[in-house]
Structure 1
Amino acid sequence: MNILDILALFICLAGIFIYVNTYYLKLPSSVGLMILALGLSFALLVIEQIIPEFKLGTERILKDYDYHEVLYQLVLSFMLFAGALQIDFKKLAEERTPVLILALLGVLISTFIIGGFVYYLLIWIGIPLDFMYCLVFGALISPTDPIAVTSTIKKYSLSKNLETRIAGESLFNDGMAVVIALTLLDLAHAGEDHFLGFVDIVWVFGTDIVGGIVIGLFLGYLGYRLLKYIDNDEVEVEVLMTLALVMAGTQLAEFAHVSAKQAVVVMGLVIGNEGKSGHVTSAAGDYVFKFWHLIEETLNAMLFVLIGLEMLIIPWRLDYFAAGFFAFNIVLFARYVSVSVPIAAMSTYRSFEKNTIHVLAWGGLRGGIPIALSLSLPEFEGKEVIITMTYTVVVCSVLYQGLTIPKLMRITFPRK
């Protein structure tokens, strides 16, 4: 079975998942896809017991192929670019400041709370994991799923300001969390070779982030100028141009040893906003945005398929899953704190609705980005426990929060 066969299998299963959820389950995207992924895991486990040879074939599919490069180079880059492309600064208007503060400060607070608590949790359970890798887990589990959040809040009578803050913060924290997670991973690897001082840490963060921003701004503006030059009727040229820019930007950033994910986020922001601005309406046609929305939805569904298959090869250790369950409660606590602190600070000069903290915290479902990040990590001691904890947290978050958030919304806000 070659890589094209595996890709075809993933796309086929993703299509079936989306169809079944859309026409039969009729649940929010993340909730429905997670239920189907768990169903796939259960079905495969049953088949393994009946046909032992089936397990060997499944393990060969998942172990013989290195998904690290595919997930890291393509899936994450494409999903982050697609998410950034949807962010419209004009719609954010006066909400830009609270959205950016919530996203940046919130992810930083969440990363260190989760990393610190998980470090001592694992010591208590008896699982060795370096503190830096605990921080990496804290960062990669911090981003929330913008697809799940926006699909839920649109059904209720939220004020325009609150709706903008929720959707905007969810879209921005993806890129922030990915950059912080990958930079912490660089620090963890560098710390294995020699002791890192404060200056070294600042240098790694600075070069990763600033370098990524510079490349993103350059290629984003280049892409905007090219899209402005191309006629909107040339749909295939516009789409291929954006694909080429994302892939070239990722490779260029990797070559320069800076944050490729930061670069694609900035590219998406520049092209998305400049391409839709009033004086350059023709810069990017609607099909460009529709294409990338389709890419985001498809990759998200494929990641849930991968979740279902990945459960067959991760170690079934009770202590790992126990750590994941406790980590889910830590993640919820960290989410409340990371939302409450910035809002409390901003409340001195900006008004917030009464239930903003509860909706932002409980509505922060985890989705495909944490799964892709955990699976794309390079090999190190403790990777398996991070993957298991990530899987457990995402499952609990999507099912528990995803199924109860409508009740919270009905209590706090009337339905439209």
Structure 2
Amino acid sequence: MELYSTFSLLLVVAAFFAYLNHRFLRLPPTIGLMALTLLSSLGLVGLGRLGVPAVLRVVEMVRTIDFHTVLMQYMLSFLLFSGAMQLDTRSLGRQRTPVVLLATLGTLISTLMVACGLYLVLPLFRLPLDFIYCLLFGSLISPTDPVAVLGILTKAGLPKALETEIVGESLFNDGVGVVLFATVLSVAVAGPAAFDPVQALALLLREAAGGLGLGALLGYAGFRLLRNVNNYKVEVLLTLAIVTGGSALAARLHTSGPLAMVVAGLIVGSQQGRRAMSDETEDYVDKFWELIDMVLNALLFVLMGLEMLVLRISGQYVAAGLAVVALVLLARLVSVSIPLSFLRRRRAFSEFSLAMLTWGGLRGGISVALALSLPPTMPRELLVGITYVVVVFSILGQGLTIGPLATRLQRGLSKQQ
């Protein structure tokens, strides 16, 4: 009954705020939901300090929610599968080299830069941190999440290639970032003295290669099953089974569920995969996953906002977090610049690719979930506080300005031509 009450609360809040945003604010849905929930949470924090009983009950209800488990074990698989299905695989194939480089080399560069910068910056705020924990923060903050700005990017009329690069990178670097975080976390838990590089590399390969292989197997099996059926109800159910069964199997095999869902979604949503469906089935499958994506994103951003009720974020953490925002943006700029500099020798890129890839690299729920998964024996409160500041700035600050920036850059390019 408690689980049902919690889910009901989240869904009612999400629906009400979605209505308010659509009716009055007219912001991009995820940004509007995040802003409204944050403002409401700050108000509830004030009422909670006054001891209002109803607010205290809401706080206790939110406290029972395991954000990491809800997102990483339940919601993320659906969100990544849905996002991969909607991606144009032909365009992704043409942009596969920049997407792979940005998702792998770019994520590694960003992780190392953020770790080194954090190690130097935090002592200025009297918050010194061991380098292994700085590296842990770098791995959890590096994955990007452009869900909040995809609609804005489409309306801004960006070149299709650039849009594919941003979306494709985010789908794959989510999986890469989670695998990297798991590897660094295992080192942090074991301690430097017990660190075994061979074992760490084996863990990394098992998670990454295993996830990619499992996703390919699930996607191909799903494609064969869909091709042999011509009933939209059964076929929608099959896609749902791929996600639920596939993510459970990935957890059992200790491979990367996010990477598996991305690959499976790309195969099912590919041109060949869609030819296995009738026009009616394709329409129902697309609408079903569009609805799933919308509902889960609404719940995710409401849940992120409500976390403010239970997090302890001091003024010192906020100040450090704002400094880290600049550090994360700088790391993003460098981690995008280096792969692009290699790629420019072989292919042309849009004039404003660097600016859009840098500013469009939003941090979201995955970073918060990974931070909240840290054990209490680590400096969890500090890392969660800084992560939350970076994510809120990213979604509200970058999310609200990415559209105007894209439009301005487009106009500047048009004038030059």
TM-score under structure 1 length normalisation: 0.90
Q: Which residue of structure 2 aligns with residue 266 of structure 1?
A: 263
Q: Which residue of structure 2 aligns with residue 52 of structure 1?
A: 52
In the superposition, relative to structure 1, how do residues 383 and 323 fare at CA in structure 2: closer, same or farther (>3 Å)? same
Give me the whole-angstrom Cα distance separating, in 2, the residues matched to 1:405 and 1:170.
16
- After superposition, residues 49-128 of structure 1 pair within 5 angstroms as 49-127=49-127
In the superposition, relative to structure 1, how do residues 206 and 153 fare at CA in structure 2: closer, same or farther (>3 Å)? same
Q: Which residue of structure 2 aligns with residue 333 of structure 1?
A: 330
CA contact (8 A) 1:47 1:54 kept: no
- Counterpart of 1:47 in 2: which secondary structure? helix
Give me the whole-angstrom Cα distance separating, in 2, the residues matched to 1:260 and 1:194.
30
Give me the whole-angstrom Cα distance separating, in 2, the residues matched to 1:139 and 1:87.
25
Deviation of 1:325 after TM superposition, in Å, equals: 1.3
Amino acid at match of 1:305: V
Deviation of 1:111 after TM superposition, in Å, equals: 1.5
- Counterpart of 1:414 in 2: which secondary structure? helix
Q: Which residue of structure 1 aligns with residue 204 of structure 2?
A: 205
Give me the whole-angstrom Cα distance separating, in 2, the residues matched to 1:288 and 1:374.
34
- After superposition, residues 389-400 of structure 1 pair within 5 angstroms as 389-400=386-397
Q: Which residue of structure 1 aligns with residue 232 of structure 2?
A: 234
Deviation of 1:23 after TM superposition, in Å, equals: 2.3
In the superposition, relative to structure 1, how do residues 166 and 214 fare at CA in structure 2: closer, same or farther (>3 Å)? closer
- After superposition, residues 16-31 of structure 1 pair within 5 angstroms as 16-31=16-31
Deviation of 1:6 after TM superposition, in Å, equals: 0.4
1:357 has 2:354 as partner:
yes
CA contact (8 A) 2:67 2:369 kept: no
Q: Which residue of structure 2 aligns with residue 171 of structure 1?
A: 171
Give me the whole-angstrom Cα distance separating, in 1, the residues matched to 2:52 and 2:407.
48
Deviation of 1:102 after TM superposition, in Å, equals: 2.0
In the superposition, relative to structure 1, how do residues 404 and 285 fare at CA in structure 2: closer, same or farther (>3 Å)? closer
CA contact (8 A) 2:317 2:385 kept: yes
Give me the whole-angstrom Cα distance separating, in 2, the residues matched to 1:34 and 1:94.
34
1:307 has 2:277 as partner:
no
CA contact (8 A) 1:41 1:312 kept: yes
Deviations 1:183-238 (A, max 9, x none): 3333433x33952233222111111112222222222222222222222x332x22
Amino acid at match of 1:220: G
- Counterpart of 1:154 in 2: which secondary structure? helix
In the superposition, relative to structure 1, how do residues 125 and 200 fare at CA in structure 2: closer, same or farther (>3 Å)? farther
Q: Which residue of structure 2 aligns with residue 12 of structure 1?
A: 12
Give me the whole-angstrom Cα distance separating, in 2, the residues matched to 1:169 and 1:322.
30
CA contact (8 A) 1:87 1:171 kept: no
- Counterpart of 2:305 in 1: which secondary structure? helix
Deviations 1:148-190 (A, max 9, x none): 332122223433333333333333333332332233333433x
Deviation of 1:49 after TM superposition, in Å, equals: 4.1
Q: Which residue of structure 2 aligns with residue 293 of structure 1?
A: 290
Deviation of 1:380 after TM superposition, in Å, equals: 4.0
CA contact (8 A) 1:136 1:185 kept: yes
Give me the whole-angstrom Cα distance separating, in 1, the residues matched to 2:271 and 2:159.
27
In the superposition, relative to structure 1, how do residues 66 and 134 fare at CA in structure 2: closer, same or farther (>3 Å)? same
Amino acid at match of 1:389: I
In the superposition, relative to structure 1, how do residues 197 and 373 fare at CA in structure 2: closer, same or farther (>3 Å)? closer
In the superposition, relative to structure 1, how do residues 388 and 80 fare at CA in structure 2: closer, same or farther (>3 Å)? same
TM-score under structure 2 length normalisation: 0.89
CA contact (8 A) 2:37 2:302 kept: yes
In the superposition, relative to structure 1, how do residues 277 and 285 fare at CA in structure 2: closer, same or farther (>3 Å)? closer
Give me the whole-angstrom Cα distance separating, in 1, the residues matched to 2:301 and 2:83.
18
Q: What are the ranges of 5 or more consecutive residues in structure 1 without an aligned counterpart? A: none
Deviation of 1:146 after TM superposition, in Å, equals: 2.8
CA contact (8 A) 1:68 1:378 kept: no
Instruction: State the superposition RMSD in angstroms.
Output: 2.6
Deviation of 1:379 after TM superposition, in Å, equals: 4.4
